[in-house]
Amino acid sequence: MTRACLLTIGDELVDGRVEDSNSSWLAKRLTDLGIVVTAHLSQGDGLEEILSALDYAVSRADLILVTGGLGPTEDDRTREALARWAGRELVEDPGAWASIQKYFAMRGVTLADSNRRQALLPDGATLLPNRAGTAPGFRLCEEIDGGAEADDARTCEVFVMPGVPSEMRQMFEDGVLPRIQERGVELVQRSLAFGGVSEARLGQLFAEHLEEGGDLRVGMCAEFGLIRVTARAYGPGGEQRIDALFEELRQEGQAWYLGEGEAGLEEFIVRELERRGMTLTLAESCTAGLVASRLGQVPGLSHVLHRAYVTYANEVKHQVLGVPESLLEIEGAVSEACARAMALGVRRVAGADLAGAVTGIAGPEGGTEEKPVGLVYLAVASRDRIWCVERQYGHPGRQIVRNRAATDLLLLLWKALEGVGGESLDSSPAS
């Protein structure tokens, strides 16, 4: 098993001016190659800071990927830090200097003296050419003393790349990837999605599979209304071992199973509508188009959703959806009765097979004692059934209420499609 640590250098990362996109890109790339990433560390441009970050990294990795701090100016100290850390001199690399000169000549730009600094590499380092910019990268191999245990002696490989994402990615593919592939790890990774269940509950159900370590690792994370369970099998027979595991997980979590793969809840719904040749429509009040817009992420939505409505005002609910005025007066627009009438109404108006509706109080204003901020009613109507739920999200903020309401309506649509009655769902015949 190869362990890697990522080290991104730059004051602009540490103080939040620039978001560090290199770490997650590299982490994903390495993980997919079967490397175990153990830590990411972002550190400012100071020499001492880089040195202590390298010490931290080397204690938990056989592979260190460093990005940033290779620019031409005085405040770029990554070259110097690496040389000092490895106990070597900085020497000019002729190949590096030639390629910097060529790069400037090609673009017709005058070289600054400071650019020559960029051709300095720690003695014995291997140049990694930069096809997309001026700063060359390099590779160092360090023998790590195992201390008292001679068996712990090992080699740590350090790759140093520029911080500019496009240059870094190019250099990774050209110069880092081939070296890593030589290490030859066999890895299969697949995932299942579950919905309408809390992470805690599913975690309890799958507890025995979630234990750490081994050559079949299972992880779980919540994203936009679904719980994603990811399995990684190292070594031979990975597909078969994951097949067997997923068979168990699917059975144990059957009530909430959505499907295999990386699709989101929105895509599961659109694909299921397509598969059944069904159409969908929506009437949204407090979410104001968020449900439609999230479904709109899925290519081909236009084939299953021909129209949808944002109906904030009471007279629009009445005129467009046919919600009775008396219902709006007596029950109010934020009520189970109104959500049901909206779903039934929009289904009829749009001539769709399935309709979803949401009405509630996103806040921060507009709540009353009886109907507080965060109260939301969701309804789904099919040809012959209605599903309706009440939700009370409290005061986590307007955007969170809207996002949760949208997610819960998507989950309700999924349950309606599947015909599966969830624990907190109330389904009754359509009136």
Judged by CB under 8 A, does residue 28 bind its own copies?
Answer: yes
SS3 for 195-248 is ECCCHHHHHHHCHHHCCCCCCEEEEEEEECCEEEEEEEEECCCHHHHHHHHHHH
Nearer to its own copies by Cβ, of 239 and 262: the residue is 262
| Residue of 155, 166, 181, 254 interacting with its own copies (CB under 8 A) | 166
Q: Which stretch binds its own copies (CB under 8 A): 73-81, 141-149, 247-255, 379-387?
A: 73-81
Q: Which of residues 41-70 bind its own copies (CB under 8 A)?
A: 41-44, 46, 49, 52-53, 56, 59-60
Is the peptide bond prior to 72 cis by the omega test (within 30 degrees of 0)? no
Question: Least distance to its own copies from the beta carbon of 296, Å?
Answer: 3
What is the DSSP code (8-state) at residue 423?
T
Nearer to its own copies by Cβ, of 31 and 88: the residue is 31
Q: Which of residues 217-246 bind its own copies (CB under 8 A)?
A: 219-223, 230
Nearer to its own copies by Cβ, of 88 and 205: the residue is 205
| Residue of 87, 108, 178, 419 interacting with its own copies (CB under 8 A) | 108
Query: What track of x and - describes contact with its own copies for positions 128 through 147 (by CB under 8 A)?
Result: ---xxxx-------------
- Give CA torsion, residues 29, 31, 33, 35, to 10 deg: 120
Judged by CB under 8 A, does residue 291 bind its own copies?
Answer: yes
Strand order of the β-sheet with 280-284 is 280-284, 354-360, 375-381, 385-392, 426-429
Instruction: Provide φ and ψ at 122, rounded to 5°.
Output: -60, 140
Task: For residue 80, give Cα distances in angstroms to 130, 148, 274.
Answer: 19, 30, 59
Question: Least distance to its own copies from the beta carbon of 124, Å?
Answer: 26
Query: What track of x and - describes contact with its own copies for positions 331 through 360 (by CB under 8 A)?
Result: ------------------------------
Question: Least distance to its own copies from the beta carbon of 281, Å?
Answer: 9
Q: Which stretch binds its own copies (CB under 8 A): 140-148, 149-157, 237-245, 385-393?
A: 385-393
Q: Which of residues 255-274 bind its own copies (CB under 8 A)?
A: none
Q: In the structure encoding, which two tokens stand for residue 138, read together?
A: 């390099």
Judged by CB under 8 A, does residue 295 bind its own copies?
Answer: yes
Nearer to its own copies by Cβ, of 13 and 242: the residue is 13
Count of residues binding its own copies (CB under 8 A)? Answer: 125
Nearer to its own copies by Cβ, of 141 and 399: the residue is 399
| Residue of 363, 387, 410, 417 interacting with its own copies (CB under 8 A) | 363
Residues 67, 97: contact at Cβ < 8 Å?
no
**b/e burial code for range 310-333 (CB count within 10 A of at least 16 → b):** bbeebeebbebbebeeebbeebeb
Report the candidate in 126, 120, 118, 161 with the shortest Cα–Cα distance to residue 142: 126
Question: Least distance to its own copies from the beta carbon of 129, Å?
Answer: 12
Nearer to its own copies by Cβ, of 59 and 155: the residue is 59
Residues 130, 173: contact at Cβ < 8 Å?
no
Residues 43, 55: contact at Cβ < 8 Å?
no
Please compute, for residue 194, the number of CA atoms within 13 A of its CA located in the half-sphere on the CB side: 27
